[in-house]
Amino acid sequence: MMREHYEGLFPKTCAKCGRHYPVLRDYILNTRPAGPAISYDVELRDWQPASPLGTIAAGNCPCGTTLALSTTDLPVPKMHAMLQWVKTETERRGVTPEKLIEWVRDEIRQQVLAESEPGRTR
């Protein structure tokens, strides 16, 4: 669900240098993560917020500008499902929610890059 959402945020353009990121793969290849992904609802341990604050995954454009991928526009039921999954998985895996969110970010990055390599198919 998260990967599909992030793929739907493209194309993006850097407001400072005008660099165009047509798809998530290009963004991953040409930016570097700017700190950990942060879920504000998870930070508050609010697993069913009436008005979710969302998650931000920031990346730095080569020009130095920080670009953000956000879940703020996900429908509330999808946010609740995502937050419930985080809560359940952290308990099952014995990790912090913050570590799980970073794992999700890394996993999406790895999947996108692996599936988009020349000669690889989905």
pLDDT 10s digits, 9-39: 999 999 999 999 999 999 999 999 999 999 9
Report pLDDT for 122: 46
What span, in angstroms and rounded, lies between the C-alpha atoms of 93 and 109? Answer: 21
What span, in angstroms and rounded, lies between the C-alpha atoms of 102 and 79? Answer: 17
Domains of the chain, residue spans: 2-115
Assigned token pair, 116: 């988009």
115 — pLDDT class (breaks 50, 70, 90): confident
What span, in angstroms and rounded, lies between the C-alpha atoms of 113 and 31? Answer: 13
pTM beyond 0.75: the answer is yes
- Cβ atoms of residues 19 and 43 within 8 Å: no
Report pLDDT for 102: 94
